[in-house]
Structure formats: C-alpha cells, structure tokens
Structure 1
Amino acid sequence: MTHELEVWLYADHIGTLQLLNGRLSFSYAPNWLTHSDAVALSASLPLQAESFNDLKTRPFFAGLLPEGKMRHLIAQQFQVSSQNDFALLDYIGGECAGAVTFLEPGQVLPVPKHNNEVQWLNDKEVLALLEELPHRPMLAGKDGLRLSLAGAQDKLPVVFDGNRIGLPLNGTPSSHILKPAINAVEDSVINEGFCMTLAETMQLKPAKSKIHFVLNRSFLLVERYDRLINAQGHRLRVHQEDFCQALGVVPEIKYQNEGGPGFIQCFELVRQSTRPSAPQVLRLLDYMIFNTLIGNHDAHAKNFSLLYSDKSPVLAPLYDTLSTAIYPALTPKMAMKIGSKYKFSEVQARHWDQFADSVGISKAQTKQRILALAKSLPDTARKLQSNPNYNFSNNTIVERIKALIDQRCALTIRRLTNTTTEF
C-alpha cells in the first residue's frame, strides 16, 4: 500500500512524498513544474518530471526531523518506528525549518486567523514546559502542535513578542527557537549565549540570541532567521536547508569522519549555489575560523545552512555555536578536519595551507583572515565578559572559554608567523 503526504512550500502545493514498502520517493507536482515562480525544494532535488528514489529523497526529508533520543521519544509518543521518516513527518511536519509543510492529501493549508493563533504561557507554564521537553520532545501529540526541528538536543519552536513566550498553534509560524540547558553539558545556555554574543560583537552576523531566566531556570531564545515580518505585520516563513540536505547526505553521517561532508564540499556548495559567491565564501571562511578558535568541535555540515531569501540563496547566519572544547569529557576531534588534521592541537601552518588549497581560497588571504580574527578575538572576549550589560562576569564557564580562546589564538598566531621549520 502506498502512503502519501502532500509537500507544500510557502503557500503552494509543490509535490508528493510517498512511502511504498518502506521506501521513500518524492515527485514534483506537474503544475509546479510549469509554474512561473517554480523553485526546487532542495539543491539536492532539482526540478524534474521524474520522481526521486529513496536514496535521493531521504536526505532532505529526514534532515527536517529531530535526531537521536528525541526522535525515539517522539516515535514512542505516536507508536511508530523511529526509523519511519514518513510517519514522523505526518505527525510533526507542520512547522519545520524553512518554508516546508506536510499535509495529508485533500487537506487545506492552515491559515491562522490574524497570524496570531498562539497559546501564551505564564512563567509557571514555561517552567513546566522546560520540565516536560526532555520527556516529550517538540511537545509531540499536543493538540494544535505539529513542530519539528533537526538536531539531537532539546529545542522548541515558540513565539516571543518581547515579553511573552507562546506556542504557535494551527499553522502559525514561530518566531524563535527555545533552547533549554543540555543535561550532560555544564552551563550550556551561558556557553552558547556567550559564544553567539561574541560572534555578534565580532560582526559575524550570527542568528540573534539572548539568555532568558524564568524562576531561576535559564534558557536561550534564538531569533529565527528563516522567518520575517511583512509590510502588513504578518510573520512569514523563509525557506532554508542545511548543508547535509543540500548535498544529499543523510543526517546519520553528518560528521566527516563517518563519511559526511568536509570543508571541500561545504565551500564548493556555497560557491556553486550563491551569486555573487565570493562574499558568501568569505563569510563561511570567517565562520569556520571563529568556530575553530572558540573550540566548537561540533560544527558539522548540519550546522551550516543556505537561506533562500531571494532567487539566489545566501549563507544563513551562524547558529548552534558553543565551545565544546572546554569540556574534558567531549571529543577533542573537530567535526571537519583542517588539512589532514581533526585535532586543533595538531594543526600547523601547512595544514591551514592545505585547507586553503582544498577549498579554493588563496593561502595569503586565508592566513590574513585567520590572523585578523586571532588577534582581535581575545580582547573582544575579555571586554564582552566584563560588559555590565550581560551576566558573563564571574562565570566559571565563560572564564574557561576566554582562557581557551586566549590559548588557541596565541598558538595560531605563533604557528602562522613562525618561519622556522615545522616538525
């Protein structure tokens, strides 16, 4: 028996996702292929009349879903297999990353009244939500909610109006992503909050984020860059996809050492997809250097995205960046290698040269940008830490991040400016 879901992009029905004998397939709707404004759902799913098989289909669609323990708990909630991408998208594929929505055949795309069908929460209800999320990811199964975000950590699409937090109901686009503390990572909220604010202070234009507290519980609110407000004051979705989706790589192999994308594929994707590409390539270079210097070893290909804000995509703002290297229990290996090295401690000047050659950027320009960031980052971090407008001073985690940045920047400068022979 064939199961079908209609795939909508913005307000258009653009195709059909099918499940037959456990295999997925996707095909564009004939009307969409002849539409004057037709665009592809993904760089890995170009416009064509022929349907895409499971191998081609699954990377994009599975890439919309939560991973790991979250995925298993959601599957349990609906009594389906955690391997069943189709069933999970059926249940929670209403408010996804980008502008894609899934509906059963014959259903009409929900149009929320006045764009504000929101269940506003008081502080006690927000605290209860934080308690519930680890056991009920995405609040799966609650009436009016069909929410999905990729990744292995707890998070939730919410609406934030500057004062209140609410749950988006019946097709209302969310405005922010709520990220609670990660149980196994000490003070993860202030870690990510500091690193994201540091990126903004360095003028890297990351996703806007802010640490919030409710009844002494901290969480991060990240403004969605894939949502915008139109002239009428309505919130609209903007399509996006992460690099794994765009490259046709399933989320299970997002790390380079297990077969996932490396910097070569990532830079080539940006070069091929964006116009003009040179500024976007340099932005990605800055993101890569910043992640390296702050010790974000989890910067895999699903943590970079293309944003389809116009006819030509652009590199999405930096997101999901925190210093994992300060935690001894977490891996010292970077998600993507620099030259031939996965460990930062082993990266010498020649490995940066190998990296530059492999991604098609001149060695001189790469070195210049590395040194510029390495020379300015420590002082910027120190000033941010002591800024009275934030709560970063006298925090142990922030102090450890700053110390690591000092060490990494000094080592990088020394290795890139040392003219003696390396061993």
Structure 2
Amino acid sequence: MNSANDYTLDLFVGPAFVARLAFDPELNSFSLTYSPTWAADRHGYALSPHLPLDGKASSSAIRRFLENLLPEGRALDVACAHSNIQKNNIFGLIRYLGNETTGAVTFLPAGQTPQALEPQCRELMHSELQERIWRRNELPFTVWDGRVRMSIAGFQDKLLVNRVGDRLFLVDGSLSSTHILKPEPLNTALPFMVANEHFCMKLASRMSVRRYGQDHVAEVNILRTPDPVLSIRRFDRRWRTDQFVAGPDGVKVPVAERLHIIDGCQATDISVAAKYERNLGNGKDVAHIRDGASFERLFATRQYLEQPAVGVRRMVMWVVTTLLTGNSDAHGKNLSFYVSRAGLRVAELYDLVSVMQYDPQKLEHELAMAFGDEFKLEGVKSFALADFCERAKVSRPFFARELAALCEIAIVEALTQSADPVYTGEEVMLVKTITDFVVQRAKLLLKLAKDIPKFKKDDF
C-alpha cells in the first residue's frame, strides 16, 4: 500500500527546509508548498519567478522547472537505464538525482534531512580518470562506483568533482562538487573541443575584465591526464573557508556552500524541449514556428532583475561573444541567473564554443536564436542587429557602443590568448584558426555597429 510520503520530496537549501514537492501519480500533477518559516525569512526566496512563495505555481510550471534540472541525451538515457526509471517520470528522476543538482536545492525523501547525511569522499586519481575516458564506449562516463554522478543539465560527458589543486575527489552525502570536468567529446566530428571552449572562455574573460573591470565568465583550465579535460569551476558553489573534511592523506577537502541559480529556460518558464527558438526544427513546413527560447524572451527577464541595467549589460556581452566566436549553439539553457529575495542577477558566462569551426554537414550552424529574423551568422548585418535591439528592447546606441568596444578589445585579446602555452600539438592550429575567425568577425562587426543606431522605428 502506497503512502502519501512515497510521492513527496522535501527541498532544502543548506540546512533550511524550503518547501515540499508533492506528486499525484493518478492526476500526473505536481504541487509545491513553501515552508512558512522560509517564506517569512528575509533571506528566503522563490525558487524561480514562476514558483512564487504563495505556493500558487501551476503543475506545468513546476514540471518545467524540474525537467530543466535533469541531464539530457545519453546522460539521461544512462540515468534512466541505471535507475530503471522512465524518461517521462520526472518525479522519479528528481528523487533519484536530486541530492546535488544545479543550484542550491537538495531534494530528499520526506523525513530525511541534510544534517543526517554523512560526508563521503574518495580521491580520483588522474590515471583512473584517463582509463575511464578511454572506456567511455563500454562504460558510461556518468556512472562511478555503481551510481550515476551526472545530475546537471547538458548533453556532453561531464563529471562532478571536488577539486583541491590538481587533486580530484568524488564526493557524496553532505559534500558538494566544486568543479565540472568535460573530456573531449566521443563525436569525432568535434576535434579539440576542450581547447576550443577553453580559448573562447578565456577570450571572453579577458574582454570582460578589460571592458568592465570584472570577470563575468566561469573560470576554466585544462587538465591533462594526459588527454585534455576541461575543468570548469562551478559558480553556483562557494568554498567555505572555515569548514573542511579530512580526505585521503589528511588533505583538507573544502565544504562548498550551494548558491541558487536557474537557467534561461527556468527563468522564462519554458520546457527544456524549447531551448532553441525554432522549437519544432528548421524544416520548411515548421521553420516559421518560433515558440522556443529567444533573445526577446531572455531579455524580458529584466523585469525580475535586481539591477536591470547591470543584467542587460551582461546579457549584451553574451550576445556579442556569440557574434564574435560563431557560437551558433548559444541556446536558452546557456545563460543562468542567481536567485535571491531581491531578484535575479545574471550569472557568469559558460559553454562558449566556436561551433563554426566544425563541418556544417556534421554539426548544425544555424543560430539557436535569431537576430531579428536571421538564423544564419553570415546573414546577420546591421539591420538584423538593429531588429534584435528592437525586439529585445535594448537601446540601439547602447548596443552599438558595447559591440564596438568589445570588438576592439577582442582583436587584441584573441591574439594574446592564442599565444597561451597551454595549447599543444594540433590544438595550436585550431586556436589560430579561431583567432583569425574572431579577428575577421570583429572587423566586420565594427563596420556594422556604425549603422545600428541609424534605423528608424518605422523600419521594423
């Protein structure tokens, strides 16, 4: 006989009880009830703008929020196969994977608390990591020590670890990961993806520091095991300087505090299936349907931003990196926001890749989100950029200034970053190719920027 608790999960942020998630399997519906203590606390906040503290979120909004926490593609297939849970069983998957998702929330079965969880930690040697990279075709990279360790969104192979210097630790229980590891993709059509993403991220970081005096890009570096692995520091985790757990050989493994973030799909209340603007694909009969994530939708989140002007500026920088690097896969889940009682803040940029370096016959080059009505990078001219500004409600003179300033910086910093000795072998040639592409794009965009403010309202 089932009990009501079988289909409830308690949500915690740190030790604080936040809300209770309930699922009715007969009605296939969700409900979310916040703790009165959490709702009344000055530090308490709604988990997203579409899951308000009054508990009046619709079942569909709750479902969309949860879906966007889950991995995608092969990683989701592995999680389903390993747990014997069907893909459409969102509640079951969150129950299975919810101890550490993106953001601050821990999902636990009713009656359990984070305080009762024991810290679990074992060292992951580089040799073991290398062996598992080689064996990915026979043993999924997301399964370690008999359990799935991929509980964040995305398609690529990833591993969550706690990193201390160059030492890596698999953690569980009360401990959180601090870094995401991404080896080279299995897809041979995507060679040197680690160097590609590292270069684009480091370039954006340099641009951010030069333009704004602050780094608004996630920290990355390359580990070699000896295969290259991209290590990304999680910006939704913050080390506690006063708390450590004793790891192997007495090494101090930091306890990480979880910070709550949501991605662009959660912030705009759309399904993971709609992370691309052409949510039904680009076939001739459906290309006109554009109900998915778009720049217009994402910039509309300014209504929730704690500091709208600052947030818009960060989103504009993200847009410019897309134009400069040819990151055609910049979709609705590639932008995130910190969440607090005061509102949303645009988080550090991530997943920046020059997709245009790869064969268009093997990897889609169509833009995930259009500039105006233009889905081809080479078709984005001054009118499309001005149209983008009108739809996103961004001042055209402001956008033109930011575009020009960032392009000027990119021309210099791309060349500087390309000289980084971290790149070896054939990576060097790929990085040079991306550098040339960025410089060429920057010079073109500088010319286009001059015309963006010249259009009139009636032109759109």
- Any conservation in 2 of the 1:94–1:146 contact (CA below 8 Å)? no
Give, in angstroms, the shift of residue 201 of structure 1: 1.5
Alignment of 1:339-418 (within 5 A): 339-388=372-421, 391=424, 395-417=428-450
Give the Cα–Cα distance (whole angstroms) in 1 for the partners of residues 422 and 379 of structure 2.
37
Give the Cα–Cα distance (whole angstroms) in 2 for the partners of residues 282 and 39 of structure 1.
24
Give, in angstroms, the shift of residue 313 of structure 1: 2.7
Per-residue CA shift, 1:139-182, capped at 9, x if unaligned?
Answer: 27736x76511011111211100120110121311110111111
Structure 1 stretches lacking a partner, 5+ long: none
What TM-score, normalized to structure 1? 0.91
Seen in structure 2, the aligned counterparts of structure 1 residues 67 and 376 have a Cα distance that, compared at 3 Å, is same
Tell me whether 1:222 sits opposite 2:232 in the alignment: yes
- Any conservation in 2 of the 1:192–1:323 contact (CA below 8 Å)? yes
Tell me whether 1:239 sits opposite 2:260 in the alignment: yes
- Any conservation in 2 of the 1:15–1:26 contact (CA below 8 Å)? no
Q: Secondary structure at the match of 1:16?
A: strand
Per-residue CA shift, 1:32-61, capped at 9, x if unaligned?
Answer: 4653243111121111244x4431111111
Q: Who is 1:46 aligned against?
A: 52
Alignment of 1:126-205 (within 5 A): 126-131=129-134, 135-139=139-143, 142=146, 147-184=150-187, 185-202=190-207, 203=209, 204-205=215-216
What TM-score, normalized to structure 2? 0.84
Alignment of 1:101-120 (within 5 A): 101-110=106-115, 117-120=120-123
Aligned-residue sequence identity (percent) comes to: 27
- Any conservation in 2 of the 1:9–1:41 contact (CA below 8 Å)? no
Number of equivalences: 416
Structure 2 stretches lacking a partner, 5+ long: 210-214, 244-254, 280-290, 456-460
Q: Who is 2:346 aligned against?
A: 315
Give the Cα–Cα distance (whole angstroms) in 1 for the partners of residues 12 and 304 of structure 2.
22
Give, in angstroms, the shift of residue 393 of structure 1: 8.8
For residue 223 of structure 2, the aligned residue among 209, 212, 216 is 212
- Any conservation in 2 of the 1:200–1:206 contact (CA below 8 Å)? yes
Seen in structure 2, the aligned counterparts of structure 1 residues 257 and 21 have a Cα distance that, compared at 3 Å, is same
Give the Cα–Cα distance (whole angstroms) in 2 for the partners of residues 111 and 164 of structure 1.
27
Q: Who is 2:65 aligned against?
A: 60
- 1:207 corresponds to which letter in structure 2? A
Q: Secondary structure at the match of 1:401?
A: helix
Give the Cα–Cα distance (whole angstroms) in 2 for the partners of residues 237 and 132 of structure 1.
32
Give, in angstroms, the shift of residue 119 of structure 1: 0.9
Q: Who is 1:123 aligned against?
A: 126
Tell me whether 1:31 sits opposite 2:36 in the alignment: yes
Tell me whether 1:324 sits opposite 2:368 in the alignment: no
- Any conservation in 1 of the 2:104–2:260 contact (CA below 8 Å)? yes
Give the Cα–Cα distance (whole angstroms) in 1 for the partners of residues 258 and 427 of structure 2.
39
Q: Secondary structure at the match of 1:313?
A: strand
For residue 317 of structure 2, the aligned residue among 286, 290, 313 is 286
Give the Cα–Cα distance (whole angstroms) in 2 for the partners of residues 367 and 34 of structure 1.
42
Per-residue CA shift, 1:342-397, capped at 9, x if unaligned?
Answer: 11111111111111122222211111111122222122111211234655997222
Give the Cα–Cα distance (whole angstroms) in 1 for the partners of residues 96 and 340 of structure 2.
27
Give the Cα–Cα distance (whole angstroms) in 1 for the partners of residues 127 and 169 of structure 2.
13
Seen in structure 2, the aligned counterparts of structure 1 residues 394 and 219 have a Cα distance that, compared at 3 Å, is closer
Give the Cα–Cα distance (whole angstroms) in 2 for the partners of residues 300 and 357 of structure 1.
20
- Any conservation in 2 of the 1:291–1:299 contact (CA below 8 Å)? yes
- Any conservation in 2 of the 1:67–1:150 contact (CA below 8 Å)? yes
- 1:208 corresponds to which letter in structure 2? E
Seen in structure 2, the aligned counterparts of structure 1 residues 31 and 133 have a Cα distance that, compared at 3 Å, is farther
Seen in structure 2, the aligned counterparts of structure 1 residues 319 and 40 have a Cα distance that, compared at 3 Å, is same
For residue 327 of structure 2, the aligned residue among 265, 290, 296 is 296
- Any conservation in 1 of the 2:39–2:53 contact (CA below 8 Å)? no
Seen in structure 2, the aligned counterparts of structure 1 residues 34 and 226 have a Cα distance that, compared at 3 Å, is closer
